[in-house]
Amino acid sequence: MAAPRRIILDCDPGHDDALAVMLAAGDPRVDLVGITTVAGNQTVEKTTRNACAVATVAGLSLTPIVRGADRPLLRPLRIAPDIHGASGLDGPPPLTPTVVPRPGHACDFLIEQVMASPGDVTIVATGPLTNVALALMREPALAETAREIVIMGGAYGRGNVTPAAEFNIYVDPEAASVVFGAPWRLTMMGLDVTHQAACPEEVQERITAIGSPLGIFAGQLLEFFRSTYRREQRMDDPPVHDACAVAYVVDPDLFGTRPARVVVETTGTHTSGMTVTEFVEGGDSRHDVGISVRRDALFDVLVEAIAALG
């Protein structure tokens, strides 16, 4: 068996980020080096607390959690309480985390971990890309030293905040432009593929039926997430957006991708945050874009990972 893929999960928990953490921690094909947090679904104070809460329930006391940027590079912060609730992780009963974040800043942690192991560490970014952009601006060699970056964000079709833009990119398009423009292998798991990964009620029931505190916690998260997606997005089932980015590292064969060139619109009056995508065949494209997912197999992987954490 190949050695586990070492990843840093840069996230803004968030219900689907929480599931991404569980997948990254529970699947043996991944070694979760650390979790970095950013403002996005909620303020960075809340997303960091939520990361610590998930780590507490999942038993991840040894996994570093490092807080990052509290605002986008240039714009006011936009959060998503309509989807994730006032805490950013509404649904389960409130708990007091026993895991605490480590000192320091996320961008320094990203730089230290990647530069210490050239070609080895993959960054999986499932929130606004502020931390990653800050790290690139501080250490441009990050892009050539990381193994790759996998992003949940963007869309080559319709957005979910505006017709043009997906939330993570819309919150900080300037940061996204820096990240997409850097010279590294980048895979975009956008709405076009993550909306195909909507979690049916029977999968939620399988997760709850695991019977562990984590399984029950994850089921409660999905129940709340389902209710807000039905109300706000008119979707019967909630997409596990961020888990898709981790799952791509776990098993790329779960997804179909196409090579592309992607640039981020930062100035358009009606298109700010749009990921303008040109599909290409061959050539020197550094970008790949998710277009399809083996949904049933993806959920099998997710359920197994949650069960493995006990």
pLDDT tens for each residue of 142-195? 999 999 999 999 999 999 999 999 999 999 999 999 999 999 999 999 999 999
Burial class (CB in 10 A: 0-12, 13-18, 19+), 267: exposed
Give the C-alpha separation, 207 to 219, whole Å.
Answer: 6
204: exposed, middle or buried (Cβ count in 10 Å: 0-12, 13-18, 19+): buried
| The token pair that represents 162 in the structure block | 């505006």
pLDDT at 219 over 90: yes
Span 108-144, pLDDT tens digits: 999 999 999 999 999 999 999 999 999 999 999 999 9
pLDDT at 282 over 80: no
Q: Tell me which residues are annotated as active site.
A: 241
Cα 250 from Cα 254, distance rounded (Å): 9
For residue 118, the 8-state DSSP code is: T
Confidence class for position 2, pLDDT limits 50, 70, 90: confident
DSSP letter assigned to residue 223: H
pLDDT tens-digit series, residues 68-100:
999 999 999 999 999 999 999 999 998 999 999
Compute the distance between CA of residue 169 and CA of residue 175 in angstroms, rounded to an integer.
Answer: 8
- The pLDDT, as a whole number, for residue 105 is 98
Would you mind telling me the total number of residues written for the chain in this entry?
310
Mean predicted confidence (pLDDT) in 282-292? 88
- Average pLDDT of the segment spanning 2-24: 97
Is there a contact between 68 and 12 (Cβ–Cβ < 8 Å)?
A: no
140: tokens are 């441009």
Mean pLDDT (the chain) is 97
Reading phi first (left if > 0) and then psi (alpha if -120 to 50, else beta), residue 119 is in left
* DSSP code for 75: S
CATH of 5-308, one of 3.90.245.10, 3.30.360.10, 3.40.50.300, 3.30.530.20: 3.90.245.10
Q: What is the pLDDT of residue 283?
A: 66
